[in-house]
Each structure stands twice: as C-alpha cells, then as structure tokens.
C-alpha cells in the first residue's frame, strides 16, 4: 500500500511538472516579429490583446501605427459611448470569432493609447461590433498586422465630448 501511494505521488509530481513546463513553454513563445512595414503579432489562448499591443508599443517605441487583425476570442467587451453620460456602456460576449479588428496606436503622455474597433460573430453567425474595451484570445490564435508610421501622434481628452481624440499637426 505504501509503495502504491509513493508511486501515485511520483506520478502526480511528474504530471504537475510536465504541465508547468508546458505552460512555461507556451508563455515564452514569441508573440511578435518585425516585418518590412511594422510587426506581425500571433497571440495565443488566454492572451490579453490590448495589454500585449500596449506592451509592444512601449517596448518597441512605436511612434504611431494602425493595425488590423482576425482570430478567436474567448471574450470580448464592446462599449457603446453614451454622449449624455460621457462614458461607455459595456456589453460582454463569450466564445466569438473576431471577423475584423481595426485600430491605432498613439500616445497619451508616456503611455501608449490604443483605440480599437471590431466585429465579432457567435456560433449562430450573429454579428456584434463597435468600440472594444477588452479582448482575450480564445482557442486557436489571433493574428494582428501592425503598420508603423514615423511621426509620433498623441491623444488628448477633448471637451465637451470627454473623449480621447487623436491630435494632428497640420502643415500649412
């Protein structure tokens, strides 16, 4: 009986160690590569899309960029802006396929400012879309194609809308 308990504990330890190693390997997978026009990101299940785009912008010091993407989402939170209340009303959807992601990377002081919209479909092919407040990758992956531009652009809160608006410096 003692031998059986020892073997069972060893088996559990081995399975746990193997699982931990698999998680560590997945966490260390490359999430982006440099391309001729910017970057290609391939995100994996559980990844926080907005946080990883923000991290990329910070690490690579991206001055301004636009991006598109597709892939599976475990959950997406869309926000519809209530102009009267000056805030987003969120709605969350789970197990979706992102048919489209479109966005931009700018700056707000020292922090990257991500603006992203998208279209998600459920398993019945119902489509939902709008401003994305949060997005996590589902089963499979998510591909994001980022095109970098040379001029650094900022976002600032503008009134009376109380929204973070991209600022342009027009040449005259």
- Reported as a pLDDT band with limits 50, 70 and 90, residue 25 is very low
What mean pLDDT comes out for the span 97-106?
A: 98
Predicted model pTM:
0.81
Q: In percent, how much of the chain has pLDDT > 90?
A: 75
- Position 161 scores a pLDDT of 85
Say whether 22 sits in a helix, a strand or coil.
Answer: helix
Report helix, strand and coil shares of the chain as percent, to nearest 5: 20, 55, 25
**Neighbour-count burial of 114, counting CB atoms closer than 10 A to its CB (0-12 exposed, 13-18 middle, 19+ buried):** buried
**Average pLDDT over every residue of 110-117:** 97
* CATH architecture of the region 31-166: 2-Layer Sandwich (3.30)
């Amino acid at each position: 009986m003692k031998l059986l308990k020892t073997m069972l504990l060893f088996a559990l330890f081995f399975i746990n160690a193997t699982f931990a190693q698999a998680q560590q390997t997945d966490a260390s997978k490359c999430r982006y590569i440099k391309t001729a026009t910017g970057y290609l990101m391939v995100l994996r299940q559980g990844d926080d899309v907005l946080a990883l785009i923000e991290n990329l912008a910070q690490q690579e010091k991206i001055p301004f960029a636009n991006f598109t993407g597709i892939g599976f989402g475990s959950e997406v939170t869309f926000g519809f802006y209530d102009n009267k209340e000056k805030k987003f009303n969120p709605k969350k959807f789970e197990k979706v396929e992102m048919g489209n992601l479109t966005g931009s990377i700018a700056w707000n002081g020292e922090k990257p400012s991500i603006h992203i919209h998208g279209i998600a479909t459920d398993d019945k092919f119902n489509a939902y879309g709008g401003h994305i407040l949060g997005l996590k990758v589902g089963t499979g992956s998510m591909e994001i194609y980022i095109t970098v531009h040379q001029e650094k652009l900022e976002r600032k809160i503008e009134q009376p809308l109380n929204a973070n608006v991209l600022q342009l410096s027009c040449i005259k």
